[in-house]
Amino acid sequence: MKEKYISIKEALEKKKGKVSLRGWVYRERKFKDKVFIVLRDHSGIIQTVIHKDKVSEKEWEQAERILIESSVKLHGELVEDPRAPGGVELRVEKFELVHLAEPFPITKDKSKEYLYDKRHLWLRSRYLTSILKIRSTVFRAIREYFWSKGFYEFHSPSLTPGVAEEGPTLFEVNYFGKKLYLTQTWQLYAEAAIFALEKIFTIAPSFRAERSKTSRHLAEYWHAEVEVAWMNMDELMDLAEEMIKHVIREVLKHHREDLEFLGRDPKDLEKVLKKKWPRITYDEALEILEKKGMKVPWGKDLRTIEEDKLMEDFDTPVFVTHYPKEIMAFYKPRDPKNPKVARCFDLIAPEGYGELIGGSERDENIDELIKALKKAGEKIENYEFYLDTRRYGSIPHSGFGMGVERLISWICKLETIRDAIPFPRTMTRHKP
Ligand code: 4AD
Ligand code: MG
């Protein structure tokens, strides 16, 4: 008969009775006639005890030699014990060794870089497990939100012939002797697809050859993007705010303990849910900065230090809108009310987590697009497919992109974005 195993979380809730558990040895302590094993599985940890006279001789020999991270199956009786973590202990009646681990290379005193080298093993830590669980909920909640709003999930190629955002951060790929690039955004393809599907989203990897070693930049990150027919910028900001609030609500619903373990007070996030997030223009942002002693000449983009300074005054994310047209990507349209600025926004996170989202309306005017592309030094023939979208039933539309790891970093209050993704890729790290 097939054994029925329950999770450690279920065992802690059950508190008594005979159960079978399986997992890995998180801690062990050996005495003359008993061995304590703290067992770990995906759901938690539980204390177990093996008495020499309660198991066979062979089982006892194996238990005595056990090392951490060995895999085991334990069968026995649950007993309430206030001294045990979680208040419940498993008294083992049958001990099955699945695999005796070699001495585990990760010990307390290891450096950060060593932990990144051993990332495949470090994933088992409570720290990364908590983040990975939250990450899974974040992805689910993003999809859930867009599906509930009638969006289709759409996929664009990862290998692309042209630039959509910034030339200097493109990764080149040798494609059968031709030069292609890893995608930075799905946007140009998404703009073609809304003529079929109208409301679309994706979550997919984007690539940026970032030379900066910051706590906010990855070379490969997961990009949640939307593109919506007929939508204007104000509606798009509503969508972005609602989507992130939905994600935060889901994380709060399922991961309070994980958040607390990571040092994020759930109350900080609850506060963010209650408020409407401010919308200020680029010009207003410059005024705030000037009052705080930081003078930014009009026409310059806001850098990290300026964003951080600006956000000192806010405890929710803030939309900064209407950046100078000249420094924006070619597809961002001029504002008819003030042609010096574009109809675009960034959503900036509080607490120094930087830009979560970049979004805009899209220029419908084909002549303006061609002018902007030429100014950026682009070859028009590479964009013919894109320009076709403006030749056959062009419509107003808009879209945004969110760095999912940026959102996770902020929600989990992480020191670095590298821990928001299982196997980070940065300028200095591409292994394992
Ligand atoms: O602001 P960006 O460059 O905008 C676009 O790519 C648009 N085409 C998106 C769209 O409208 N569909 O990038 C969008 C977001 C940023 O706000 C940031 O959160 C994230 O992508 N991002 C990064 N995240 C991690 N590491 C990096 N190197 C990132 N670069 C951008
Ligand atoms: Mg941006």
Q: Any idea which fold 8-99 has?
A: OB fold (Dihydrolipoamide Acetyltransferase, E2P) (2.40.50)
pLDDT in tens, 201-239: 999 999 999 887 889 999 999 999 999 999 999 999 999
For residue 55, pLDDT beyond 80 = yes
Q: How confident is the model at residue 163 (pLDDT cuts 50, 70, 90)?
A: confident
Q: Specify the residue with its C-alpha closest to ligand 1, atom 16.
A: 357
Q: Specify the residue with its C-alpha closest to ligand 1, atom 18.
A: 403
What are φ and ψ of residue 332, in 5° steps? -85, 125
CA of 401, closest atom in ligand 1: 9
341: CA distance to ligand 2 center in Å? 15
- Share the mean pLDDT of the chain: 96
Q: Are 35 and 97 in contact (CB under 8 A)?
A: no
Q: For 285-298, what is the mean pLDDT?
A: 96
Q: For 383-388, what is the mean pLDDT?
A: 94
Q: What gap in Å lies between CA 236 and CA 404, rounded to an integer?
A: 18
Q: What is residue 166's predicted lDDT score, i.e. its pLDDT? A: 78
Q: What gap in Å lies between CA 48 and CA 38, rounded to an integer?
A: 6
Dihedral-angle region of residue 305 (phi above 0 means left; psi in -120 to 50 means alpha; beta otherwise): alpha
CA of 208, closest atom in ligand 1: 28
CA 370 to mean position of chain CA atoms: 35
Residue 212 class from Cβ within 10 Å (0-12 exposed, 13-18 middle, 19+ buried)?
Answer: exposed
Q: Where exactly are the structural domains of the chain? A: 8-99, 116-420
Q: Which residues contact 364 (CB under 8 A, 6 or more apart)?
A: 333, 390, 394, 395, 396
Q: How confident is the model at residue 116 (pLDDT cuts 50, 70, 90)?
A: very high
Q: For 251-262, what is the mean pLDDT?
A: 98
Q: Which residues pair with 429 in a beta bridge?
A: 426
CA 163 to mean position of chain CA atoms: 24
- Which ligand is the nearest neighbour of the Cα of 200? 1
Pocket test for ligand 1, best of 182, 183, 223, 225 (most atoms within 8 A of CB): 223
pTM: 0.96
Closest by Cα among 61, 72, 80 to 13: 80
For residue 1, pLDDT beyond 60 = no
Q: How confident is the model at residue 382 (pLDDT cuts 50, 70, 90)?
A: confident
Half-sphere CA count of 237, side-chain side, radius 13 A: 20
Tokens of 250: 């889901």
Q: What is residue 214's predicted lDDT score, i.e. its pLDDT? A: 86
CA 420 to mean position of chain CA atoms: 5
79: CA distance to ligand 1 center in Å? 52
Q: What gap in Å lies between CA 159 and CA 179, rounded to an integer?
A: 10
Near ion ligand 2, which residues have CB within 5 Å?
A: 358
Q: For 392-413, what is the mean pLDDT?
A: 98
402: CA distance to ligand 1 center in Å? 6
265: CA distance to ligand 2 center in Å? 28
Tokens of 328: 């924006």
Give every strand in the sheet of 199-207, ordered side by side: 152-153, 199-207, 220-229, 397-403, 354-361, 344-349, 318-321, 279-281
Q: For 243-254, what is the mean pLDDT?
A: 98
Q: How many CB atoms lie within 10 A of CB 299?
A: 12
Pocket test for ligand 1, best of 181, 191, 200, 355 (most atoms within 8 A of CB): 355
What sign does the dihedral 202-207-211-214 (CA atoms) show?
Answer: positive
Q: What gap in Å lies between CA 338 and CA 274, rounded to an integer?
A: 33
User: b or e along 304-319 (b: 16 or more beta carbons within 10 Å of the residue's beta carbon)?
Assistant: eebbbbbbeebebbbb
Q: Specify the residue with its C-alpha closest to ligand 1, atom 31.
A: 403
Percent of the chain with pLDDT over 90: 94
Q: What is residue 212's predicted lDDT score, i.e. its pLDDT? A: 79
Q: How confident is the model at residue 190 (pLDDT cuts 50, 70, 90)?
A: very high
Secondary element (H or E) of residue 235? helix 233-254
Q: Specify the residue with its C-alpha closest to ligand 1, atom 1.
A: 358
* 422 prior amide bond cis, ω within 30: no
For residue 2, pLDDT beyond 70 = no
Q: Which residues contact 194 (CB under 8 A, 6 or more apart)?
A: 200, 227, 228, 229, 397
302: CA distance to ligand 2 center in Å? 10
Q: Any idea which fold 116-420 has?
A: BirA Bifunctional Protein; domain 2 (3.30.930)
pLDDT in tens, 330-365: 999 999 999 999 999 999 999 999 999 999 999 999
Q: What is residue 134's predicted lDDT score, i.e. its pLDDT? A: 98
For residue 95, pLDDT beyond 70 = yes
- Which ligand is the nearest neighbour of the Cα of 359? 1
- Ligand 1 cavity residues, CB under 6 Å: 164-165, 184-185, 187, 208, 210, 217-218, 221, 223, 225, 355-359, 399-403, 405-406
